Structure 1
């Protein structure tokens, strides 16, 4: 007996099938199938032959592979009873719930102890499939591992792309060839982590940014994840995502995964990227006012650090506003006796030494300049040298002899009294002051992974959002240490990295665009000499790299020369004039024929205009620039092509290229097949090209 189900959008079909009442498996996922496709026949066609040395039939590669079905690969569930004994369920079909764009399948353990439920839904506009799984038990159980519904990986794929990183070096792409066995990634730091972003791209052979088939995955959970990409001896491949193993520290009768976001693309990696960008922006992030333009951001951290002085901060705010800033964020150092990073975390009361009249004089000054006011918190952390720790040492998570991080410990967010305390202190600050923005930091990994910690943080964020719905929240965790769709369901912006080095940012932003849209990625113009790399970078490059995302400044504006001030003001004004359409534009990674050039095309959803950012990361191997092919244009239409910053051409750019003197009229076919030839440039510079459909 075969039962089958399908989900479709305009470009993809997902087919699930169950044979003989067993757990369903994905028997097809790829380009849209005809409406009259025979799913029973398709399921039978999916069956593999057997040969010598094999079992008499192949165990199903189901949505939760079962060890009890003689499946020899990684199982989708590892669970133990209250005494710690392995429990091996055998699930059989119980019932279905089918809607227009969703399926919920329920399977019951033959012994009557466990119930497994898998949910799938497909978004007709963004093309993202959301999948999740849950287990219910008639008695408390210990969970070791539960995978979100398991997807097959394509056979016509030679390698997979996942993401690693470090502090000030996030979103580094790894390409790993498929081979027998598993690619195993696990983040056990207790937060999403610089080291292991919970995403995977599986391109099929020949796929590039702009062409070919590709499959994308993202696990939307902020507490550490596990990824298994396995090739079985018979050649089949599976992709599993779930919470990190062994992070449910208490027995329970219900466990659930976070949402696994999955997408098939028929136009390269960009198809995955655009789907994730749109889904995050339009379905997940809940902006207080979606129509509000993203304000130009100013953060005072790299200007003053802990040395808060009201007259100095007022002067800095005035200069930031003159440059075009529309939001001023007061960073770490405003509370308790916080003079460095060794003390006062959790003492969330205004420091009367630095602010004898409270924050009101600074906030009033910022408002008088036409800016809104934001403030820094690190709610989930505590210093031993703090009043709160001295009163409640039992609130700290982990042992007394734990290794500290940035001289701090984590608060136990699973404790209701901790969440209540934090809600009261943060809420009082927001009630007493006109604050519309929180930079929410998380500057150390946890002493031990614990899912209850993440759920507690989520609960606090949810309560604050409900009570203060107009306040936006930025997720920062030593920079990009907590970026995922789970945290972004509760926040509105991420700090991609603590590095303000424009060259490093160029690369990180480019890779992060596989998952994140412009509106949530903060990108700031840093100091002339970067504080984290020591590199000195020209203001033009710093400004244009910041203008690729949600633009801001994070330096002492008093260091700027008159020329630098003029450049920064000009780029900021350009960003303001274009930010409305850029907010909804698709960020498309371009296939650069020159490895030294990192380029992307921001295309208006309606297709009427675009901007190309072509950053020169290093010296090219050849002398003259190679043409840069654009993408997703109308081949039979013409575009007005204008080099916006042609005045930045250096003296060594001596040719008489037409693009350096006037706009060009070029067809979409030419721009996509031959490409746009830009002027020569030095490394660490950016060409910016505006295209308008004629």
Structure 2
């Protein structure tokens, strides 16, 4: 891992384990020269790029393109100056190379635990007319083929500057022979893998919802047409941010491709008075020559170990039972205790009390913001209930939706201006609720005080932090007219600050993010909450697609997955308890159902599932994931987890629909040590790792629809 500067060629060479990234200064402009497999020497590399003399900058591959000076493609940033002009021309002023990786003020970001893990290049550009200074930051990592990029704007002039577009990263590729891969969907069908050939023009995925959204994840990749799970070049882009974003590709008339990612410029603005600065979120760019699987495993290792934080990062996650689909709002202390008791008998470790425990919350129309226990449902209080659950040997967890307020609540009646709104306009309600204005310090202070009071008085070990609607009528009562477009981003900064304080004050609490399921499953939230409720859809068959797609970027340790009742509440589908368990055990395992209704046979199966997951969870949560069969491509799904030392592996195979007179099936495994011998499920038969990967593992005939099979491999000592 090195960053070197060749002064004579004005060329920066950024190297990680197997990757090079090259920038050259040309007449003060930072140009993009190369990103790909690691190069031994970069001397004279720019001779490979031939441009006509006096060519327009529109023909050049750039690192951070600007508007108005001859480049007609989408810029990485745009400003409006006080004189009404929109033209700036950033040119190189200086650079510095440092060990380690600096923190981003007020924003989540990948970190290092030792300066030896990374190096950072900062290139300072200036616009001499306005005094605007822009610093491009690049960090390369010793153990990962990844680069983090972010940008800081500083107004060094004497007049104000209005930012209208401020993206985190832009990369110009010299050709367009790529396919774009991204994750799309909606509520209950998040993270559906999409793949399309790049064509001339602009292709955009985005959120304008004030959250990263279930509709599009803040991730995209470019892959060569022949790229699959195991081979081919892939360039990944992932934004460490939880608000509205944009990721786009633009193919121009020269067949070059510009990739951009960052805060969505739609309805965004930021006023920089003299001396003020603005920091963009961080984009993580990953390079792989080992296909999509190689890209994913790079993101997994980086995000699992250097994005997630706290004592829970490396710990095994507890097996839980959540009462939501068991009771919804209709429960009392005795019912909750009975479910917890049934869970304890199965070996479950954590009980989570979901929505309905506070205010007068008997449905979703009231009481958000009033974080006071409902004594009608819980007459002896929340602390008493938690202690009763603890006495059964279970930890206690609690559901909150802190960012929201119900119009029918004491909080709203006292502070009707505390929600995001535009004065004199209709306040659109979603799920009969409004969004608290977290751009206001007094609102964040109220939440910090209210939640801290509960966290210190109740023995809470886990918090499910939900968020069930997106932003409309975006405005803030305390923001001036010229700063109203700052509201959505200031909201995110307020949320991040609140989460930073809570997680620092209560490090023992395992926080799980939720946004009607996966509506805010992004790297920004993982910085504060090391796992996310992946989808409100708990149907095992739909979860195959959802969890497969989510794994494109996010480590399994972040993926919440539960067994629920059948017929499934979202789909009406009936699947076996075994299949539901195998799907859920491919993530952070739990149950979301009334365990008191289990038959004796179901109790036996569930007890076996709990015991089995305790045996394998470190492998699932910390191992390397290999995707074997895609649910988007056929009737079968398969994936496997391999320990770092290759001594253990776990294979899950799923058959969606039964097939008459089915042919023999083999599954070629991945990630094993070809020199090791393995046994499967404690059988006497020995299989060579090379045989399992090249010849394959025989799949026995499976009868019926929606069936699964698990194989546990252990290296022969």
- The TM-score, its normalising length taken from structure 1, stands at 0.93
Contact kept? 1:592, 1:628, Cα under 8 Å: no
State the match for 2:599 in structure 1.
561
CA contact (8 A) 1:143 1:246 kept: no
- Partner SS for 1:147: strand
Residue 37 to residue 564, structure 1, CA distance change in 2 (3 Å):
same
How far is the alpha carbon of 1:484 from its aligned partner?
0.9
1:543-566 deviations in whole A, cap 9, x for unaligned?
111111110010011221111111
Deviation at 1:670, TM superposition (A): 2.4
Aligned residue number for residue 440 of structure 1: 465
Equivalence for 1:129:
147
* 1:42 corresponds to 2:45: yes
The answer to whether structure 1 residue 680 and structure 2 residue 682 are counterparts is: no
Determine the structure 1 residue equivalent to 2:116: none
Aligned equivalents of 1:466, 1:247: Cα separation in 2: 33
User: Structure 2: which 5+ runs fail to align?
Assistant: 1-7, 100-118, 475-487
Q: 2:549 matched to which residue of 1?
A: 511
Residue among 577, 582, 597 paired with 2:636: 597
In the TM superposition, residue 567 of structure 1 has moved relative to its aligned partner by 1.1
C-alpha contact 1:193 1:482 (8 A) present in aligned 2: yes
Name 1:94's counterpart in structure 2. Answer: 93
The residue number in structure 2 matching 1:114 is: 132
Contact 1:9 1:124 in 2 (8 A): yes
1:98 and 1:228 map into 2 onto residues whose CA distance is: 30
Match of 1:380 among 396, 403, 406: 403
Contact 2:233 / 2:290 at 8 angstroms: preserved in 1?
yes
What corresponds to 1:319 in structure 2?
A: 342
Q: What displacement does 1:377 show?
A: 0.8
Gaps of 5+ in 1: 645-661
Counterpart selection for 2:288 from 245, 259, 265: 265
Secondary structure of the 2:665 match is coil
Given that 1:599 and 1:614 are in contact with CA atoms closer than 8 Å, whether structure 2 keeps it comes out as yes
1:500 Cα deviation (Å)? Answer: 0.8
1:397-418: per-residue Cα shift (whole Å, max 9, x none)? Answer: 1245132110000011111111
CA deviation map 1:256-293 (0-9, x unaligned): 22110111111111111111111111001113244532
Please show how residues 278-677 of structure 1 align to structure 2 within 5 Å. 278-399=301-422, 401-448=426-473, 450-591=488-629, 595-619=634-658, 623-642=662-681, 662=683, 664-677=685-698
Q: Does 1:692 align with 2:710?
A: no
Distance of aligned partners of 1:57 and 1:130 in 2 relative to their CA distance in 1, 3 Å threshold: closer
Distance 1:115 1:392, change over 3 A: same
Query: What residue is the counterpart of 1:79 in the other structure?
Result: 79
Matched-pair contact (CA < 8 Å) for 2:13–2:42? no
The equivalent of 1:6 in structure 2 is: 13
- In the aligned structure 1, how far is the partner of 2:185 from the partner of 2:34? 33
SS of residue in 2 equivalent to 1:334:
coil
Distance in 1, matches of 2:461 and 2:409, equals 27
Residue 636 of structure 1 deviates from its aligned partner by 3.6
CA distance in 1, matches of 2:58, 2:410: 62
Is the CA contact (8 Å cut-off) linking 1:207 and 1:268 kept in structure 2?
yes
Q: How far off is 1:493 after superposition?
A: 1.2
* Separation (CA, whole Å) in 1 of partners of 2:341 and 2:131: 65
Equivalent position SS for 2:699: coil
State which drifts further: 524-533 or 137-146: 137-146
- Shift, 1:635, TM fit: 2.8
| CA distance in structure 2 between the aligned counterparts of 1:125 and 1:192, rounded to whole angstroms | 28
Q: Which moved more, 1:667-676 or 1:412-421?
A: 667-676
Q: Give distance in 2, aligned partners of 1:618 and 1:74.
A: 46
TM-score, normalisation: structure 2 = 0.90
**Alignment counterpart, residue 211 of structure 1, candidates 216, 221, 231:** 231
**Structure 1 residue 381 displacement after superposition:** 0.4
1:579-617 alpha-carbon deviations (Å, 9 max, x no partner):
223321011111569821111111111111111111123
Q: Distance in 1 between matches of 2:221 and 2:699?
A: 31
Q: What SS does the corresponding residue of 1:240 show, helix, strand or coil?
A: strand
Q: Distance in 2 between matches of 1:664 and 1:464?
A: 52
Partners of 1:320 and 1:384 lie apart in 2 by 36
Question: What per-residue deviation string (whole Å, max 9, x for no partner) do you get for residues 304-354 of structure 1?
Answer: 111121111111110012122111111111111111100000001111211
Report the Cα distance in structure 2 between the residues aligned to 1:67 and 1:397, rounded to whole angstroms.
Answer: 32
Residues 586 and 620, structure 2, Cα contact 8 Å, conserved in 1: no
In structure 2, which of residues 38, 56, 63 is the aligned counterpart of residue 32 of structure 1? 38
**SS in structure 2 of the partner of residue 430 of structure 1:** helix
Give distance in 1, aligned partners of 2:19 and 2:506.
40
Contact 1:324 1:572 in 2 (8 A): yes
In 2, are the aligned partners of 1:133 and 1:257 still within 8 Å (CA)? yes
Supply the distance in 2 between the matched residues of 1:333 and 1:691 (Cα, whole angstroms).
44
* 3-state SS of 2:48 partner: helix
Alpha-carbon distance between aligned partners in 2 of 1:151 and 1:358, rounded to the nearest angstrom: 56
Deviation for aligned residue 1:154? 7.4
- Partner residue, 2:113: none
Aligned alpha-carbon RMSD (Å): 2.0
Residue 179 of structure 1 corresponds to 199
Residue deviations 1:125-180, cap 9 Å, x none? 23221111121123332222112121234747441111111111000111121111
Deviation above 4 Å: which 4+ runs of structure 1?
54-58, 591-594, 619-622
Tell me the distance in 1 between the aligned counterparts of 2:58 and 2:641: 46
Return the alpha-carbon distance in structure 1 between the equivalents of residues 187 and 141 of structure 2: 34
Residue pair 2:305, 2:313 contacting (<8 A) in 1 also: no
User: How far apart are 1:663 and its partner, in Å?
Assistant: 5.0
Give the paired residue count: 668
Name the CA shift for 1:194/1:630 in 2 (closer, same or farther; >3 Å): same
